[in-house]
Amino acid sequence: MRDLPPLNALLAFEYVARSGSVRAAADGLSVTPGAVSRQIRLLEEYFGTALFQRQGRGLVLTLPGNAYFLQISQQLDGIRQASATLQRNAGRTVIRLHSFTTFATRWLIPRLAQFQLAHPAIDVRLTTASEWDDTVDCDAAIRLGDGTWPQQHATPLVKNVLVPVCRPTADRRASMHLAGLAQHTLLLVRGRPDDWQRWCEAFGVEMDALPHRRQMESSALAYQAAIEGQGIALAQRVLVEAELKAGTLIAMEDYQLDCGRHTYYLVRPQESVKAATLQQLEQWLVTQDTGEAL
């Protein structure tokens, strides 16, 4: 069964169609002009129609030839791009890693940069989102939970300690205690709707007694709003350590809630053809951490 015309003839046809010259095509293919002409004749015999006509010293496409060229040129370009990608990735293992955006920007990316330098044969391709999506196609993911996902291996990465933080002003420093919370706007995060309720229950605070609230799209936005003085964010401490050290945020140090097993995990399938590579990434993220790992 002849599903495809001769491939060498296709390449010759494409080169002549692009250049309008048999000689230019011959130079591009590193063959003689006679070889190019023979391939063009072979293709025209295969289809039973003329693909070129002479115009002066050059060649131009006939109507059937032009229609054919417009279709196959896209496919040949696709083959070239796919081949270039394969050459770049030859000998490399690609890991598709998915993460929450705030965790990725504040904790994960600096560690991935060092991992890539130490493991140049592993290509980690990171995607992010503000909320978890079960339809995401990835080799491993950073997930927030209690570590239990069916048929998945989960390794905790950090301690998840919740602590209220805000911009350091004299008024806020004076009111950063339980009784003073009602004076502030609570910055809630849509993707973590239960955090404030969990924290309030832990410290005997009536959530209903805190009327000033503002919902944010992500933790990153909540943290930035807190830095700008727009309210109090309930931060995952590991993600705001830099701001606390720099003094751009202050925390209610006496009211920190350790969420125990409810934290961030590197989650990967129990069975995977990339298991050995995923274990390398897992070990790196745990051992390169500076005290926050569980």
**Domains of the chain and CATH, by start:** 7-89 (1.10.10.10), 93-158+261-288 (3.40.190.10), 161-258 (3.40.190.10)
Locate 164 and state its tokens.
Answer: 């209220």
Query: What is the rounded distance in angstroms from the CA atom of residue 226 to the CA atom of residue 180?
Result: 16
Is residue 277 over pLDDT 80? yes
- 293 pLDDT band, cuts 50/70/90, is very low
* Separation CA 259–CA 195 (nearest Å): 10
pTM of the model: 0.66
User: What is the rounded distance in angstroms from the CA atom of residue 200 to the CA atom of residue 157?
Assistant: 25
Give the pLDDT confidence score for residue 89 in this predicted structure: 60
Q: Rounded distance, CA 230 to CA 221, Å?
A: 11
Mean pLDDT across 247-273: 93
**Contact between residue 225 and residue 187 where contact means Cβ atoms under 8 Å apart:** yes
pLDDT at 154 (0 to 100): 96
- Phi, psi (rounded to 5 degrees) for 223: -65, -40
> What would the pLDDT profile of 111-129 be if each residue is shown by its tens digit?
998 898 888 889 899 999 8
**Span 54-95, pLDDT tens digits:** 888 889 999 999 999 999 988 888 888 887 776 666 567 889
pLDDT at 291 over 70: no
Rounded-to-integer distance, Cα 248 and Cα 98, Å: 29
Q: Which residue has the tokens 């293919």?
A: 29
Angle (CA) 277 283 191, round 5°: 95
Report strand pairing: 58-61 vs 52-55.
antiparallel
Per-residue confidence (pLDDT) for residue 44, from 0 to 100: 92
User: 174 falls in which pLDDT band (50, 70, 90)?
Assistant: confident
Contacts of 197 (CB under 8 A, 6+ apart): 207
**What integer pLDDT is reported at residue 292 of this predicted model?**
44
